[in-house]
């Protein structure tokens, strides 16, 4: 049986332990000092008309691995919101939206919102849909993930999971004027 009371490590063992602890501390400190690149930010653009456009742009993947651009933007003219929209853009040739079907936004608590496609009459392209969020944006939960569910021409339903950080960014944008 090993007598731990009188155990004395070899000097090289002690050195190796202290060296390992020191290297671990350096690695942790370097990791803390390194900044991660920002995923996205709210961009603000001054239009020629004096209107201010706020925009949040992200890329999300659906469950099949297809990439989608998700852009939330709002226009403010003389302190009044004139437009708040969510634009979803799919890969040309692979995505053909059913513009007659509304977008469904579902929260993790089960709340559901519907948004009409502004391109129901005429879309600039088959792979682009734009939904009216003006009445919905401020009702979305703070920092809670939501699901975006929309329909394609092939009757396929697409579901995008929007992380809570993106929803929070949308809420920050909604409060800016």
What is the structure's pLDDT at 31? 46
pTM of the complete model beyond 0.75: no
Burial class (CB in 10 A: 0-12, 13-18, 19+), 73: buried
Q: What average pLDDT does the segment 52-58 reach? A: 91
In a domain, 14, yes or no: no
Answer for the pair 144, 161: CB distance below 8 angstroms, yes or no.
no
Euclidean distance between CA atoms 160 and 140, whole angstroms: 16
Strands of the 112-115 sheet, one edge to the other: 112-115, 103-107, 146-151, 157-162
Which domain range does residue 157 map to?
A: 42-175
What is the structure's pLDDT at 79? 80
What is the structure's pLDDT at 33? 40
Q: What are the tens digits of pLDDT across the range 141-167? A: 887 899 999 999 988 999 999 999 999
Answer for the pair 111, 95: CB distance below 8 angstroms, yes or no.
no
In a domain, 62, yes or no: yes
What is the structure's pLDDT at 32? 43
In a domain, 34, yes or no: no
In a domain, 31, yes or no: no
1 confidence band (pLDDT: 50, 70, 90) = low
How many domains would you assign to the chain?
1
137 pLDDT more than 50: yes
Smallest CA-to-CA distance from 54 within 80, 70, 76, 39 is with: 76
11 pLDDT more than 70: no
In a domain, 109, yes or no: yes
101 pLDDT more than 50: yes
């Amino acid at each position: 049986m090993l007598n731990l009371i009188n155990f004395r490590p070899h000097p090289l063992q002690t050195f190796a332990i202290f060296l390992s602890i020191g290297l671990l501390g350096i690695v942790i400190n370097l990791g803390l000092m390194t900044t991660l690149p920002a995923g996205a930010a709210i961009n603000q653009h001054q239009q020629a008309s004096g209107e201010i456009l706020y925009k949040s742009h992200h890329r999300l993947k659906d469950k099949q691995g297809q990439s989608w651009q998700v852009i939330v933007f709002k226009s403010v003219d003389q302190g009044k919101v004139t437009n708040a929209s969510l634009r979803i853009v799919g890969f040309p040739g692979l995505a053909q939206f059913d513009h007659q079907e509304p977008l469904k936004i579902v929260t993790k608590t089960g709340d559901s919102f519907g948004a009409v496609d502004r391109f129901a009459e005429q879309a600039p392209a088959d792979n682009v849909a734009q939904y009216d969020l003006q009445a919905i944006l401020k009702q979305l939960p703070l920092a809670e993930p939501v699901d975006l569910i929309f329909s394609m021409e092939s009757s396929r339903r697409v579901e995008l999971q929007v992380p809570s950080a993106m929803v929070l960014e949308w809420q920050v944008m909604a409060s800016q004027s």
